[in-house]
Each structure stands twice: as structure tokens, then as C-alpha cells.
Structure 1
Amino acid sequence: MNLILEDCAQVPYFTNMRVVFDALELNASDFDWFVSDIEHAGGDAFCSEDHWISGEDLERALLSNDIQFVWAVFSAIPKGGPRPAIHEPPYADGNPAFWSDPSPRPQLIGALFEIVCWDSSATILVGLPDAALRRFWHRFPDSKPLNAAPR
């Protein structure tokens, strides 16, 4: 199952990745990341170009900076594993698959899961392990299955 969190008073803003990782009880440092389709507010604390980033560097950036991601796709790759070639970077802005596909999968081949920041108004979780989704749902009971979110 995939989840979406929107229309919720439990978070100061939906696309605070520090809060998302905390709710999932996942450490960014346990994975390598490809981050794409990035638009954010937070100064120079985070690169706005599509890029690979180690989990440790991502964790450091999120812990030491207050960054609101307007748009972004965080694709988790097994730590230390091969990085797939990027032919078409994952994207959020304008991507109809979240609303038309009954069960979207991570866009990047080889990604374990993806976390999508949607227009600073929603957080979309695609392909995460069930245990992490349950923890997120427990923290944010207003989250709902993605395929139940009307668009």
C-alpha cells in the first residue's frame, strides 16, 4: 500500500523530511539517495539540482537545516549498492501516475521506495515496507491510502 498525508493539522508543513523520517522510524543514513525534481525553501542548505547523496549527508542536511521541500522525489537505494543509470529522473510536479495508477511503484529502477514532496501540501509514500507505513499511520492517523485520494 502507498500512503498520502494531506489536510492534516498534525504537522507544521507536509514536506518536512526530518518529520517524515522520524514518523517512519527510518534513518536516512541506512540508504543511498537519488533526489530529483527539487524545489525548496531553505537557502543554500540543499542542492536544487537532481543528485545522488549519501544517507549520512542527507541526514546531516536535514538535521542541521530547516528545509521545506515544495517538490522533490527522494528515491532510496540499497546502501553501497550499484547506482542505476538515470535516463529519466523521477518527478513529482505534473506526474499523473500518483493519481491514475492504482498502485504506483518507485519511479527509479532499483529503488526500494520513494518519498515524494507534493507542492508543499502533501507527502506521498510509495513502496515503503509495511512496518514503516504502520508507524507513519500511527503518528499521522489522517494519512490515507494513495489510491483513495481523489484528484
Structure 2
Amino acid sequence: MEIKMYGRILTGGGRFYTYLGPLFAAIGQRQEQYNWLITDFEGGFPLEECVRLNRRNLRERYAWIDGGTLTRLAGQGNAQWSWGVFSGFDRSVTLKQALEYDLPWADGNPGFWKNPVSVQHPLAQMEIVAWDNACTILISRDQKAVCEFAAAFPDSMDLERYNEAEAAPDQSAAYEAWLRRNEER
């Protein structure tokens, strides 16, 4: 039996692009009930520094942090995440179990732009994605969390409808075209 996923994308207007405090408020502080696997990240100081220090060695490309600690660290600064995948797991899931699967990633991942929407990690309940300072994506098994996010950010769009309307956009090509248009000014 396939479990339905729900998704929203917040793009345009340049506000709240992956500042965790407003995002956590928008999902009713549900982040506190999960353990978080943080992967493919850039930005978000001072939390990024803590996440980097939380790694066991420099070759690891992830951090594992509980929701309470994540909440506390996110509240210490108002830093924006440029890139990153925050995968929320029930507390019963261990790091060892989570690492049995491929690590979630953001940069260049075409999976966000395909329907039906889905979190990348099969054991995760929720995924928050910082996408190149351009948008924030929320995908969750929890429909209520996604509805609360939509109410907090009324300019966000249903991710499946966005994908249908945009016909799987190539974000890098759009960015390159924007740079060429704006070079001439």
C-alpha cells in the first residue's frame, strides 16, 4: 500500500527562504518530535557550524540531530540555508537504520520536480529542502503539517500542481538565462 505524500513549494518574493524559525512555526513546531538527518547543506550559521562539529569525521556528509537541539540551535540566529535537506524521522528510527539507505540530496536532484511527490528517504516522515536560495520545499506524510504550512505561507503552492504547471523546470537553465538577460543591463 502506497502512503500518500503532501508537498508545498515556497518560491518568489524572496522571503523566508529557508530560515528555520518561521518554517518550524508554520508546521506547528513538529520538528521537536523527530530526529533529523541533515545532508547536502550550506549556510545556516551558527547551526551549520554545530552540525559540522557534530560529524564524526570530515568525510561524513551528514549530521544526525534531535529535534529539540535543532530547534534551540535554529533559534540562536536568523541565518538562511542556501542548500540542504532536513529529513525528519520518528524517534524510534536509529542513525544506523537511516544510513542503510542513500543520503538525501538537493543540488541538481530532479526528483522534486516529478509527481507524485515523495520524501527521498523511505524511513523519513518529513523533508524540508533549501533549494539554492530560490525556494523551500516541504514534503510530508502528515497532511495537517502541510496544510498548516500552506496557511502560514499562502503564496506557497501545492508541489504537484507546481510540477504540472512548470513541466519539470530545469532550474539551472532558468538561472543561466536570467544571468544572460541581466548582464546586459
TM-score range normalised by the length of the shorter chain? 0.7 to 0.9
The residue number in structure 1 matching 2:69 is 57
The residue number in structure 2 matching 1:82 is 94
Deviates more, 1:53-62 or 1:22-31: 22-31
Q: 2:18 is paired with a residue of what secondary structure?
A: coil
The residue number in structure 1 matching 2:181 is none
The residue number in structure 1 matching 2:78 is 66
More helix by share: 2
The residue number in structure 2 matching 1:97 is 111
RMSD across aligned C-alpha pairs, in angstroms? Answer: 1.8
Gaps of 5+ in 2: 1-5, 53-60, 170-185
Q: 2:75 is paired with a residue of what secondary structure?
A: helix
The residue number in structure 1 matching 2:41 is 38
- AA aligned to 2:137 is I
- Aligned-partner Cα distance in 2 for 1:63–1:20: 12
Q: 1:128 to 1:18 in 2, by over 3 A?
A: farther
Gaps of 5+ in 1: none
Q: 1:128 to 1:115 in 2, by over 3 A?
A: farther
Question: In the TM superposition, what is the alpha-carbon distance from 1:128 to its structure 2 partner?
Answer: 4.2
* Percent identity over paired residues: 30
* 2:8 maps to which of 3, 17, 20: 3
Question: In the TM superposition, what is the alpha-carbon distance from 1:92 to its structure 2 partner?
Answer: 0.7
The residue number in structure 1 matching 2:153 is 140
Q: Which has the larger radius of gyration?
A: 2
- Aligned-partner Cα distance in 2 for 1:28–1:134: 15
- Aligned-partner Cα distance in 2 for 1:53–1:4: 24
The residue number in structure 1 matching 2:58 is none
- AA aligned to 2:11 is E
- AA aligned to 2:65 is I
Question: In the TM superposition, what is the alpha-carbon distance from 1:114 to its structure 2 partner?
Answer: 0.5
State the TM-score, normalizing by the size of structure 2. Answer: 0.73
The residue number in structure 2 matching 1:29 is 32
- Aligned-partner Cα distance in 2 for 1:78–1:145: 24
State the TM-score, normalizing by the size of structure 1. Answer: 0.88
Displacement over 6 Å in runs of 4+: none
CA contact (8 A) 2:140 2:146 kept: no
The residue number in structure 1 matching 2:51 is 47
- AA aligned to 1:19 is P
Q: 1:125 to 1:22 in 2, by over 3 A?
A: same
Q: 1:52 is paired with a residue of what secondary structure?
A: strand
